[in-house]
Amino acid sequence: MLKAAVLGGSGYTGIELVRLLLSHPDVEVTAVTSERSAGLLISDVFINVRNTELKYDSLDLKVLAKRADLFFLCLPHKTSQETVAFLHNAGKRVIDLSADYRLKNPKVYEEWYKIPHLYAPLLKKAVYGLPELYRKQIRKASIIANPGCYPTSAILGLAPLMAKDFINVSGIIVDSKSGTSGAGRSPAQPFMFCEVNESVKAYSIAVHRHTPEIEQELSALSHGNVRILFTPHLIPMDRGILSTIYVPLKRKISLPDVQKLYNQYYHNEPFVRILQNGRYPATKAVKGGNYCDISVFLDERSGKNQTLIIVSAIDNLLKGASGNAVQNMNIMYGFEETTGLLASPASP
């Protein structure tokens, strides 16, 4: 049995990880931390998690390092910088769900997160943990930088196109809408019920911190320098992300050819579902599942200047965070990749 610990287990992504790992046949959860809930039973804080007698621990790394082989980090950025470095030096494998090791360029990290990266040499060792792109590297990695939720929906939606000469990479628009759990569990006025209910609003226009992460991965796929327009929106639901992506084309291409491209690219991917015959992805269809649903459409009304429209849907807490982290763990340790993740999304 693999001994695993979850550091920062009282937030939404943390408790989703705990829930998934407790049901995993090859994993023993040996520690879960929370500073604000230390000493309390997990089941007393989250009444939906009843199959454990585990209590929350404080974040004492010297003690915790002796209790697990793999550490999932659901900690704030900057805190994860130091924690990853400590655990790596202690010979442990780490899956970090913060942003601290996603960006390969420390100057870009400092520009967008307004703090220096104190462990820049470790960035070279960290593998961006999107299995659909980096499965081989994930198998051997000691540090996994689990992707952000918005980037997962955007990158998976765009990946099959990025090396193709018929798209214009300088005009990509990503319009995304997220449920409020994406903002975390800490109370804040913008996410109170009366502020969010019956309202939709854009935020962080042209300055969202996930922008350079999306651009980094799309640039690697296209072997060029990709810049996108990314606008996130907050909508009044608990969980889920729907991204509508607009890609200008350099030349005409048929919709069946694009659909064939997507089907071939994701043919062997267990958690990417390409919808056919004009079906539309919906957040409810992926809620509670580790899936990304994708559909492609073509606007042909503008003659030569066609626009390809991609729609993707994920559960931000699962394929956008904790489910993807478990998928990474399965790959790292040679477990069947789908273990613990094949539950169908709930309906309704």
Q: What is the pLDDT of residues 208-257, one digit of tens each?
A: 999 999 999 999 999 999 999 999 999 999 999 999 999 999 998 999 99
Residue 157 and residue 137 share a domain: no
Tell whether 244 and 295 lie within a shared domain. yes
Greater confidence, 55 or 185? Answer: 55
Active site annotation includes 194: no
Return all residues near 309 (Cβ < 8 A) that are at least 6 apart. 244, 245, 246, 247, 296, 297, 298, 299
348 domain-assigned? no
In this structure, are residues 131 and 337 in contact, taking their beta carbons and an 8 Å threshold?
A: yes
Residue of 74, 149, 194, 292 marked catalytic: 149
Burial label for 326, CB within 10 Å (0-12, 13-18, 19+), is buried
Quote the pLDDT of residue 304.
73
Asked if 66 and 78 sit in the same domain, the reply is yes
In a shared domain, residues 95 and 157: no
CB 58 within 8 A of CB 32: no
Q: Does 347 reside within a domain? A: no
Q: What is the pTM of this model?
A: 0.95
My answer on whether 231 and 184 are in the same domain is yes
pLDDT band for position 87 (50/70/90)?
very high
Residue 344 resides in a domain = no
Residue 302: is its pLDDT beyond 70? no
Q: Which amino acid is at 177?
A: K
Least trusted range by pLDDT, from 33-37, 48-52, 201-205, 238-242 = 48-52
* Domain region containing 295: 150-314
| Whether residues 126 and 186 fall in one domain | no
Q: What share of the chain in percent tops pLDDT 90?
A: 86
How many domains does the chain fold into? Answer: 2
Q: What is the pLDDT confidence band of residue 96, given thresholds at 50, 70 and 90?
A: very high
Q: Is residue 163 part of a domain?
A: yes
For residue 258, tell me if it sits in a domain: yes
| Structure confidence at residue 347 as a pLDDT band (50, 70, 90) | confident
Is residue 299 in a domain? yes
CA-based nearest residue to 94, from 138, 133, 149:
138
Tell me the pairing of strands 93-96 and 27-33.
unpaired
